[in-house]
Chain A
Amino acid sequence: MKGSVMSLLVALALVAQDRLAGGQEHRSYDYTKYHTMDEISAWMNQMERENPDVVSSMIYGQTHENRNLTLLKIGFTRSTPKKAVWMDCGIHAREWISPAFCQHFVKEILGSYQTDPKVSMLFKNLDFYVTPVLNMDGYIYSWKDNTTRLWRKSRSPGTGNCTCIGTDLNRNFYANWGTVGISRNCCSAVYNGPTPLSEPEAKAVNDFLGAHQNQLLCYLTIHSYGQQILIPYGHPNISAPNYNDLMEVGLAAANAIKAVHGKSYKVGTPPDVLYALSGSSSDFARLIGIPYTFTVELRDEGHYSFLLPEDQIQPTCEEAYQGAMSIINYIHDKNFRGSASTVTATLWTTLVASWISSANVF
């Protein structure tokens, strides 16, 4: 009797020790549920506190309602500037699966950089700038009650005669602004604002991207719904100079996504696969020279549309993560060939050496 109690206690102690030792385990945060802005902000603080070597936060602007726009900067610290990848989620308030993905992405890379050499290499050569919720005011409003759930825009008041609220942040950037896929009526869901960058949220992104444009290799913006990987440009008559490359990278990402749960993501420019638009953040990013810019539309294809059930959060994030990593790894390997060629050279040297030693030609 005593023996079995003792062994039970020992077993419990081991389990407890195991849990404590797993420092990266965020046992209290449920990544398979949608979270309020307060919960997400607390989670961001937690990520920074628990991973001080690789995570720092930066405030890069304010929303209309004066909330701090904060991103997490993730990667090994280095005194000299590093190349970087930008990811933002939640430009559109009602697309709740999008912030869920940013949280999942951060969790995954933080949970694997110490054990996965590929991720470790990414942390060495790149910084990730991740904004889990860009349109904080809109997101909070969409949580207010049942009647606000399907809000899309920012929460800035209308100007002039207009009594409606909000501007579509993804039409507000200085990228063919106001030409196509917008409405000048401020009550419209695609109202592009009185002027380009009228919205402080868009201005903050604009300024950050501009200040870091030499470092940024990749701009990713996450949306829903539609299951698409969109490449620049939104305007039907303008083509990105690296269109072919972008299509190839996009198609590879779609294949990576499909391999996870069989979901099809369509790849192309918005005028081809979705609808023409202007003033988008990814068009702006491409225009200032960030070579790889993608807008990703997550699940689903219209069945539940914006109200994606919580039991689909995990599979959606899993497939999107593979898609994002496919893009990021491609860009990394293209820019940091040094590491790969060292591996190749070592491999060849080893092969030749073993051939020479095994051959009895001498």
Chain B
Amino acid sequence: MQSVIRTHLESVSSHSCYATELSFINSSTRRRSPPEWIMKTFCSVWLLLSLVELRPALPVSQETPLACRGPADPALQQPETPEEMDTTGDLEPTHYPARRAATVALHYLNTRHGSPYRVFGLQQVHKASAEDVAAGGRKYSLDFSVTTSPSGSAGPALRCSAEVLFPRTEQHTPPDVQLNCEALQQLNSTAEDEAFYQKYITPDSAVSAQYLPDSYGNMSEDMQPFWRLARVAASFIMLRESSENTEFNMAQVASITQQESSEKQLMLDYVVLLHDLPSQEIIQWKLLASWSPDSGVRVLQMEWQPRCPHATKPPN
């Protein structure tokens, strides 16, 4: 990367500009006499302009933003595919391509094994690699660790391996995940899950709340399992909507309304606010989820809710 800038400097700048720029960077404590300062400013501006000119004009997005656009349309303007997106082989674990793929694996893990007293969070990516596949997609191989909430970093970390396939198709296709975590089969429904279920499966139970957590990040202890259930249910949506250009987290539960229990399942109407990192958009989804200790979480209905002044119709 250093060589890129150096080559560019040499090719574009006059030698004096290059020398001034370099010497300025290397000895920022040197007192600069006025002519030198002017020279430095001129060179910096010239350099900046030359850099901007040299770069081919990158496509910029005219698309309606994600919050209005709704499910899984191509994200905002991206750079030419970053090197890591195209390289076959090892990926840097702390860089975003590995992390986004691991986040997708995490969403999948939560849909399968999440509960009111167990939400998985990404702790660390240990190793990652990627390769293009024949059908025209990209497959990531991941070795990573997860923590569970409520215990968080205080509790044990689970080691997982996963393969995440992002199909590169015209229309968005959800990623495919194969996942294996150690000791996952031993993770039974906890006593707290059972107690929670017994408490709220009663016929007269009608929990409802808004904005969890509140603006200050606070949430009563009673409402935390409901928040975690929302987080698990939202994982179904986040999983479905994910691509290599997205990175979803649940920002807030806008509302929760308990519906009449059906077939021994807790039934919960949620409105959740999802945050996508690259576009920085907040996307609102309404969903109906069911849960019981035996069946796990299922999402029965989901509906994108556009939030913008001139709402465009959802694609479906």
Q: Do A and B bind?
A: yes
Closest to A189 in B: B280
Given contacts A149-B215, A241-B22, contact A188 B1 (CB under 8 A): no
The residue that A271 contacts in the complex, of B79, B282, B309, with Cβ under 8 A, is: B79
What residues on A are CB-neighbors of B52 within 8 Å? 176, 179
In the assembled complex, A52 has its CB within 8 A of some CB on chain B: no
Given A185-B65, A305-B249, A309-B218, are A268 and B213 also a contact pair (CB < 8 Å)? Answer: no
Residue A164 interfacial (CB < 8 Å): yes
Q: Assess A180 versus B275: contact at CB under 8 Å? Given A305-B249, A310-B217, A312-B217.
A: no
CB-CB < 8 A to B25: which residues of A? 241-242, 289, 291
Contact A150 B252 (CB under 8 A): yes
> With A239-B2, A243-B1 in contact, is A275–B278 under 8 Å at CB?
yes
**In this assembly, does A303 line the interface, its C-beta being within 8 Å of a C-beta of chain B?**
yes
On whether the beta carbons of B64 and A289 are closer than 8 Å, the reply is no
* Residue A325 at the chain B interface, CB threshold 8 Å: no
Q: Mark A179-223, 1 if CB is under 8 A from B, else 0.
A: 111111101111000000000000000000000001001000000
Residues of chain B contacted by A275 (CB below 8 angstroms): 96, 277-278
The answer to whether B213 and A176 have CB atoms under 8 Å apart is no
In the complex the two chains form, is B94's CB within 8 Å of A273's CB?
A: yes
Which residue in B60, B67, B121 is a CB contact (below 8 Å) of A182? B60
Q: Among A187, A190, A239, which residue has its beta carbon within 8 angstroms of that of B5?
A: A239
Are B24 and A289 interface neighbours, CB within 8 A?
yes
Residues on B with beta carbons closer than 8 Å to the beta carbon of A303 = 121, 149, 152, 249
Give chain A interface residues in 304-362, CB to chain B under 8 Å: 304-310, 312, 334-335
Query: B308 touching A187 by the CB < 8 A rule?
Result: yes
A276 and B217 contact, CB distance less than 8 A: no
Contact of A164 with B79 at beta-carbon distance under 8 Å, contacts A178-B60, A189-B280 already known:
no
- Our pick among B4, B48, B280 for the contact of A168 (Cβ within 8 Å) is B280
Q: A302 an interface residue at 8 Å Cβ cutoff?
A: yes
Please tell me if the beta carbons of A214 and B32 are within 8 angstroms of each other in the complex.
yes
B210 nearest CB neighbor, chain A only: A146
Q: What residues of chain B lie closer than 8 Å to A304, measured between beta carbons?
A: 213, 217
Task: Report if A13 contacts B (CB, 8 A).
Answer: no
Q: Is A288 an interface residue (CB 8 A)?
A: yes
Which of A152, A176, A190 has the most B CB atoms < 10 Å from its CB?
A190
Number of interface residues of B (CB under 8 A): 71
- Residues of chain A within 8 A of B28, CB atoms compared: 217, 289, 291, 335
Known: A187-B65, A307-B217, A310-B216. A150 touches B79 (CB 8 A): no
A274 in the interface (beta carbon within 8 A): yes
Cβ B78 vs Cβ A274 within 8 A: no
**Set of chain B residues within 8 Å of A188, measured between Cβ atoms:** 61, 65-66, 76, 279, 281
List chain B residues, Cβ under 8 A from A241. Answer: 2, 5, 21-22, 25
The CA-CA distance from A235 to B8 in the complex, in Å, is 15
Task: With A305-B249, A305-B275 as known contacts, state yes or no: A185 contacts B61, CB within 8 Å.
Answer: yes
Residue in B28, B211, B309 with the greatest tally of chain A CB atoms within 10 Å: B28
* Distance, CA A242 to CA B28, complexed state (A): 11
Q: Shortest beta-carbon distance, B138 to chain A, in Å?
A: 17
> Quick check: is A236 within 8 A (CB to CB) of the other chain?
yes
| Minimal beta-carbon separation of A277 from chain B (angstroms) | 9
In contact, A287 and B94 (Cβ under 8 angstroms): no
What CA separation (Å) do A12 and B275 show in the bound complex?
A: 53
Q: Is the CB of A183 within 8 A of B63?
A: yes
| Bound Cα distance from A235 to B77, whole angstroms | 13
Which chain B residues (216-244) contact chain A, with CB distance < 8 Å? 216-219
The answer to whether B61 touches A150 (Cβ under 8 A) is: no
Q: What total of chain A residues lie within 8 Å of the partner, measured CB to CB?
A: 64
* Identity of the chain A residue whose Cβ is nearest the Cβ of B54 in the assembled complex: A237
Given the complex of chains A and B, what is the CA–CA distance between A273 and B163 in angstroms?
21
Cβ–Cβ < 8 Å partners of A237 in chain B: 4, 55
Establish whether residues A307 and B215, one from each chain, have CB atoms under 8 Å apart when the complex forms. Answer: yes
CB-defined contacts of B149 to chain A, threshold 8 Å:
303
**Which residues in A have their C-beta under 8 angstroms from that of B281?**
188-189
Is there contact, CB below 8 Å, between B217 and A180?
Answer: no
Whether the pair A268, B94 counts as a contact (CB closer than 8 A) is: yes
* Given A150-B252, A217-B28, A241-B22: A236 in contact with B64 (beta carbons within 8 A): no
Known A287-B48, A310-B218; contact A183-B65, beta-carbon cutoff 8 A: yes
From known contacts A34-B216, A149-B215, A217-B28, infer whether A185 and B64 are also in contact, taking CB-CB under 8 Å: yes
Q: Does B179 contact A (CB under 8 A)?
A: no
The answer to whether the Cβ of B158 comes within 8 Å of any Cβ in the partner chain is no
Output the nearest chain B residue to A304 by Cβ-Cβ distance. Answer: B217
Interface positions of B from 122 to 159, Cβ below 8 Å from A: 122, 124, 149, 152-153
**Is the Cβ of A187 less than 8 Å from the Cβ of B68?**
yes
Q: Write out the residue numbers on chain A whose beta carbons fall within 8 Å of the beta carbon of B261.
A: none
Is A20 in the interface zone, CB < 8 Å from B? no
Q: Which of A175, A184, A276, A301 contacts B82 (CB 8 A)?
A: A276
Determine which of A176, A187, A235, A305 lies in contact with B251 in the assembled complex, contact meaning CB atoms within 8 Å. A305
- Tell me if A66 is interfacial: C-beta within 8 Å of chain B: no
Q: How far is the CB of A93 from chain B (nearest CB, A)?
A: 12
Q: Which residues of A contact B182 (CB under 8 A)?
A: none
B105 within 8 Å of A by Cβ? Answer: no
Contact A301 B96 (CB under 8 A): no
Q: Does A82 contact B (CB under 8 A)?
A: no
11 of the cross-chain contacts (CB-CB < 8 Å) are: A146-B210, A150-B252, A150-B275, A178-B60, A190-B280, A236-B82, A242-B25, A271-B79, A307-B213, A309-B218, A310-B217
Given A150-B282, A190-B76, A288-B44: 15 more A-B contacts, CB < 8 Å: A146-B211, A149-B252, A152-B280, A179-B58, A183-B60, A183-B63, A183-B279, A187-B65, A188-B65, A268-B94, A273-B94, A307-B214, A309-B213, A310-B216, A335-B29
B residues with CB within 8 A of A: 1-2, 4-5, 21-22, 24-25, 28-29, 32, 37, 40-41, 44, 48, 51-52, 55, 58, 60-68, 76-80, 82-83, 92, 94-96, 103, 121-122, 124, 149, 152-153, 210-211, 213-219, 249-252, 273, 275, 277-282, 308-310
